[in-house]
A and B are shown apart, each in its own frame.
Chain A
């Protein structure tokens, strides 16, 4: 699959998973930080098939991202992979791999969907050109 096809597939899948995808604007700074309860992370991979953001590492890095109200994942086009298996292939086994596919949710009460539980209630992917 070409990079352009992969991005197109990502946009479709992300919409279904309630994940926003946008191209980086000049003012978008790709650096990990927490700003006003928004966690900015540099995604280790993004999955085109589902719109999931993939992070590797220790909980010192992952916990703040999971505890924020919103997650903004910056990704280079070269780190957009086809599917979960391709993301797993990149994991070196240190710490944890977490795949985050959309806002945290529950349907434990009468199967009715409730958005925003213990993880971020908004997930945005910012695509930065280049590999």
Chain B
């Protein structure tokens, strides 16, 4: 038997997530929740600037220090300045924004020892990889591969049994988690009217990372929502879509700091531009990753195939704004435009339409990849008829029936959706 490769691990994990999600959504008034969540996030995008200002004012009034960062570099510098120039050990909870701005590497270069404390995130940290999915960082790895990695890191042979692997990681992280005095975390939502931040998690590591004497919360301005009463529906659609849970084990609402110091770094880094662009619908995203596990292409190539921090259908749309330097022009073609992403999105982002629009924009700007430009001209030539056309047409039809392409088609609509 061959060792399962990354694509196999991804597909198995994706199927389990989708099955659990289906159970939770079947028991909830799902469409109503989805519409409520969409309306709340629409307001977030339309009133982004005003709501972020209100949040900054209210959070500061509660005793938080609030810092605005326009770019990734500014955000990293703001965090480093807040942490001071006597680097030590810090614990970190999972945050995609910190991956986007490269915070861990920035701090490590400054001499800090940074412990990612979310299990999946720690696994990809020690492998020197990016997370392969926004809420399931190690989705691309089998337990056997994780056992091999962790055995190397911990210097003893570990079995590939998940409980044993998790236990070894928990023991390793416990010391820093309990004793560190500096913690960094992200946030899932920011409530403008109350200046509060909402964080969800299952392991308890985000609690410890956000309750250190010094806590720096780093998040994007797109996490803003207007009011508390919008939170319950947003949490329900988020947890159901991300992990197939009706709720996570822990939900934290961070108000006025009590006994410690909290600095909130609000990162723009392309977000205000996205919210005012023709792709503004994508600014509603709550980073659940459902569009990834349902995508026939993601299920084949997993997250690293996209070569961006944000992978999958949503990554194709937001990376040009949030990661302009990474922007691979072939990413919009990592899609069959089947629409499974649009159908599953808990905040009804028309992802397939936006991906098609991105392709049209690239074509218009002459930036479509060579393979696409040559492919299109080949089809045009075939349709023109004549001797060359008569030869080309059957050849191109045979190419479309190639087993590799057929397999891609069969992976569509996993779990018998529709």
Docked-complex contact B247 and A101, CB < 8 angstroms: yes
Complex Cα gap A57–B410 (Å): 52
By a CB distance below 8 angstroms, the chain A residues around B252 are 96-99
Chain A residues with CB below 8 A from B231, complex form: 84-85, 88
Bound-complex Cα distance A118 to B115 (A): 14
**Cβ of B255: which chain A residues have Cβ within 8 Å of it?**
91-97
> Which residue of A is nearest B212, CB measured?
A59
Q: Are B232 and A85 in contact (CB under 8 A)?
A: yes
Number of residues from B at the complex interface, CB < 8 A: 58
Q: Is A78 an interface residue (CB 8 A)?
A: no
Q: Which chain A positions have C-beta within 8 A of B260?
A: 59
Measured CB to CB, the closest approach of chain B to A6, in angstroms, equals 17
Q: Does B81 contact A (CB under 8 A)?
A: no
Query: Are A96 and B258 closer than 8 Å at their CB atoms?
Result: yes
Given A107-B243, A114-B166: A93 and B256 interface contact (C-beta under 8 Å): yes
* A109 near B166: Cβ-Cβ < 8 Å: yes
Interface residues of A in 107-127 (CB under 8 A from B): 107-112, 114, 116-120
For the complex, is B298 an interface residue (Cβ under 8 Å from A)?
no
User: What residues of chain A lie closer than 8 Å to B202, measured between beta carbons?
Assistant: 104-107, 117
Interface centre among A58, A59, A63, A94 (most CB of B within 10 A): A59
Contact between chains at B207 and A94 (CB < 8 Å): no
Q: A88-B232, A96-B258, A119-B249 are in contact. Are A111 and B203 (CB under 8 A)?
A: no
B118 within 8 A of partner (CB): yes
Inter-chain contact B62/A93, CB cutoff 8 Å: yes
Q: How far is A94 from B166 in the complex, measured between Cα atoms in Å?
A: 34
CB contacts under 8 Å to B, within A19-44, are none
* B249 touching A58, Cβ below 8 Å: no
Beta-carbon nearest neighbor of A92 in chain B:
B255
Q: Which of B146, B208, B256 contacts A109 (CB 8 A)?
A: B146
**Does A100 have its Cβ within 8 Å of any Cβ on chain B?**
yes
Is the C-beta of B228 less than 8 angstroms from some C-beta in chain A? yes
Scan B122-133; emit 1 where CB is below 8 A from any A CB, else 0.
010000000000
Confirm or deny: B196 has a beta carbon within 8 angstroms of a beta carbon on chain A.
Answer: yes
CB closest residue in chain A, given B255: A93
**B140 smallest CB distance to A (angstroms):** 11
Chain A residues, CB < 8 A from B138: 108-109
A110 touches B166 (CB 8 A): no
Given known contacts A84-B235, A109-B138, A114-B162, is B258 in contact with A94 (CB within 8 Å)? yes
Q: Chain B residue with minimal CB distance to A86?
A: B232
Chain B contacts with A in 369-403, Cβ cutoff 8 A: none
Given A84-B251, A106-B166, decide whether A60 and B123 contact each other with a Cβ distance below 8 A. Answer: no
Q: Which of A58, A83, A84, A107 has the most CB of B within 10 A?
A: A107
* B302 proximal to A (CB < 8 A): no
**B228 and A110: CB pair below 8 A?**
no
Do A109 and B250 touch across chains, with their CB atoms under 8 A apart? Answer: no
Cβ-based interface call for A67 (8 A): yes
- Judged by a CB distance under 8 angstroms, whether B178 is at the interface is yes
State which of B8-16, B309-317, B345-353 sits at the interface with chain A: B8-16
| Those of A47-98 within 8 Å (CB) of chain B | 50, 52, 57-60, 62-63, 66-67, 83-85, 88-89, 91-98
Report the minimum CB–CB distance from B122 to chain A (whole Å). 9
Chain A's nearest CB lies how many Å from the CB of B130?
Answer: 15
- The reply to whether B16 and A66 contact each other, CB–CB distance below 8 Å, is no
Q: Which residues of A contact B54 (CB under 8 A)?
A: none
Q: Is B80 an interface position by the 8 A CB rule?
A: no
Indicate if the CB atoms of A93 and B207 lie closer than 8 Å: no
Q: Give the Cβ gap from A5 to chain B, nearest Cβ, in Å.
A: 18
Report B-chain residues with C-beta under 8 Å of the C-beta of A93: 62, 194, 196, 255-256
Name the contact of B249 in the complex, choosing from A62, A83, A105 (C-beta under 8 A): A105
- Known contacts A60-B259, A96-B252, A111-B17; 9 additional CB pairs below 8 A are A66-B211, A96-B254, A98-B253, A99-B250, A105-B202, A109-B146, A110-B143, A111-B12, A111-B16
Instruction: Provide 9 A-B residue pairs closer than 8 Å at the C-beta atoms, listed in order of the A residue.
Output: A84-B232, A84-B251, A93-B196, A99-B251, A101-B247, A103-B249, A105-B249, A106-B203, A117-B203
